[in-house]
């Protein structure tokens, strides 16, 4: 499993995104395209960034009936992204259908990972709004196991959960972890954060880093610092 730093390109336009990526010249960081950019620019933004030589995590978090997810995943697979995702809350039949939809005629497919519980959902919200009374860690690990049973490759989780996910689902089940901050940086609206070095220590496979890189005075330097702390 290749460890890497994925930059969350949370921009609202193609122009701003490409201007940001131009800073990196011939370095080609792995980038995450989320709903904001995808919904404002459409699939062409994926083609454009791919054409420039970047690997892409398309973070659209699908959640619908199995047939709809299967057909949508086939569309995303044709876009040639490297990683995409869905909500494990859609349950095992939906996740299995997603794997089928994503698999190309030659048997290859992008990696597929699941969001377990959003980090914006806490125990109280889960109990009151979703009527789930179990402890949140147990729910997260159960959803990760369901994702594994359905044939997915891993989960998006907090770096604090990555070690336990590997214990339960195996070392090859990948963990993609946002909520990363430099020790001397601003944590912003993230609540539970880790440094790249701590994320490495705990066994995250990919870290997703947005503002510590996108809002830095020197984004290339910030990206390189992440790589150094996380990989070296």
Rounded least distance, CB 145 to ligand C5P, Å? 19
Least distance from ligand C5P to the Cβ atom of residue 108, Å:
26
Q: Is 64 in the site for ligand C5P (CB under 6 A)?
A: no
Among 142, 164, 200, 211, binds ligand C5P (CB under 6 A): 211
Site string for ligand C5P, 111-130 (x = CB under 6 A): -------xx-----------
Among residues 102, 113, 150, 209, the one that binds ligand C5P under rule CB under 6 A? 209
User: Binding to ligand C5P by residue 210, rule CB under 6 A?
Assistant: yes
Query: Does an H or E element contain 39, and which?
Result: helix 35-41
Rg of the chain in Å (alpha carbons): 17
Q: How far apart are CA 196 and CA 164, in angstroms?
A: 18
Residues 13-52: x where in contact with ligand C5P by CB under 6 A, - otherwise, as a string: ---------------------x------------------
**Could you say whether residue 100 binds ligand C5P (CB under 6 A)?**
no
Question: Is 184 in a helix, a strand, or coil?
Answer: coil
Which burial class, exposed, middle or buried, applies to 88 when counting CB atoms under 10 A from its CB (0-12, 13-18, 19+)?
Answer: buried
Determine the 3-state secondary structure of 32 from DSSP.
strand
CA-based torsion, 104, 106, 107, 112: positive or negative: negative
Contact flag: residue 196 with ligand C5P (CB under 6 A): no
d(CA 95, CA 59) in angstroms, rounded, equals 15
Residues that bind ligand C5P (CB under 6 A): 8, 10, 34, 118-119, 156, 178-179, 190, 208-212
């Amino acid at each position: 499993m290749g460890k890497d730093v994925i930059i969350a390109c949370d921009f609202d336009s193609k122009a701003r995104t490409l201007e940001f990526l131009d800073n990196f010249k011939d370095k080609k960081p792995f980038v995450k395209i989320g709903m904001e950019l995808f919904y404002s620019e459409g699939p062409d933004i994926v083609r454009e960034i791919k054409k420039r030589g970047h690997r892409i995590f398309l973070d659209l978090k699908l959640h619908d009936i199995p047939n709809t997810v299967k057909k949508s995943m086939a569309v995303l697979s044709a876009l040639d992204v490297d990683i995409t995702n869905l909500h494990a809350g859609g349950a095992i039949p939906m996740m299995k259908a997603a794997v089928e939809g994503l698999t190309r005629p030659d048997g290859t497919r992008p990696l597929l990972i699941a969001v377990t519980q959003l980090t914006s959902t806490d125990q109280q919200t889960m109990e009151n709004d979703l009527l789930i009374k179990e402890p949140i860690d147990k729910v997260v690990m159960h959803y990760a196991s369901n994702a594994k049973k359905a044939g997915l490759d891993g989960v998006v989780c907090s770096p604090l959960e990555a070690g336990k996910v590997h214990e339960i689902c195996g070392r090859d089940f990948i963990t993609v972890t946002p909520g990363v901050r430099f020790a001397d940086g601003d944590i912003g609206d993230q609540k539970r954060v880790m440094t790249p070095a701590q994320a490495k220590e705990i066994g995250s496979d990919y870290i997703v880093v947005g503002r510590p890189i996108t809002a830095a005075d020197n984004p290339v330097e910030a990206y390189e610092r992440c790589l150094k702390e996380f990989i070296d």
